[in-house]
């Protein structure tokens, strides 16, 4: 069965970067887009972008250009998202989702000094 296992919660300082992971299993990792979605506390959902692990192609929501960088490691079937120059506005839960059908459990990122 399709499973997406995300890394653990992160507490990071303003101005720093964080890299969160999403390990896929139960399907051919290189054959499906992996999407990333942001959810701020009490708020709705915001699409960040996707990566196609088969060839590394990416597409981003313009709002997250320069903020998020998506990569994928075919050897470990793991997708990554790096968030840079963190501010309090980046505090949120971040989900990975295979073609927006199967979702990971989410990673809470808290930006605080």
Partner 1 sequence: DVVLTQTPVSLLISLGGQASISCRSSQSLVHSNGNTYLHWYLQKPGQSPQLLIYQVSNRFSGIPDRFSGSGSGTDFTLKISRVEPEDLGVYYCLQRTHNPPTFGGGTKLELK
Site of interaction with partner 1 (CB under 8 A): 35, 44-47, 59, 61-63, 95, 97, 100-106
Q: Say which residues have a Cβ less than 8 Å from residue 59's Cβ, sequence separation at least 6.
A: 49, 50
Residues 59 and 57: their CA atoms lie apart, in Å, by 7
Smallest distance from partner 1 to CB 106, Å: 5
Q: How far is the CB of 104 from partner 1 (least distance, A)?
A: 7
Query: Which residues lie across from 60 on neighbouring strands?
Result: 49
Listed in sequence order, the residues at least 6 apart from 97 whose beta carbon sits closer than 8 Å to its beta carbon are 4, 34, 35, 36, 37, 103, 104
Quote the least distance from Cβ 82 to partner 1, whole Å: 19
Nearer to partner 1, 75 or 89 (CB): 89
Residue 65 or 85 having the CB closest to partner 1: 65
Q: CB-wise, 62 or 75, nearer to partner 1? A: 62
């Amino acid at each position: 069965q399709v499973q997406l296992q995300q890394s653990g919660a992160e507490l990071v300082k303003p101005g720093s970067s964080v890299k969160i992971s999403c390990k896929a299993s139960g399907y051919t990792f290189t054959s499906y887009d992996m999407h990333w979605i942001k959810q701020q506390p009490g708020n709705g959902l915001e699409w960040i972008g996707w990566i196609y692990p088969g060839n590394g192609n990416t597409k981003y929501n313009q709002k997250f250009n320069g903020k998020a960088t998506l990569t994928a490691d075919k050897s470990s079937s793991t997708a990554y998202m790096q968030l840079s120059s963190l501010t309090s506005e980046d505090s949120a839960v971040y989900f990975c989702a295979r073609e927006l059908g199967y979702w990971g459990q989410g990673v809470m990122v808290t930006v605080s000094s």
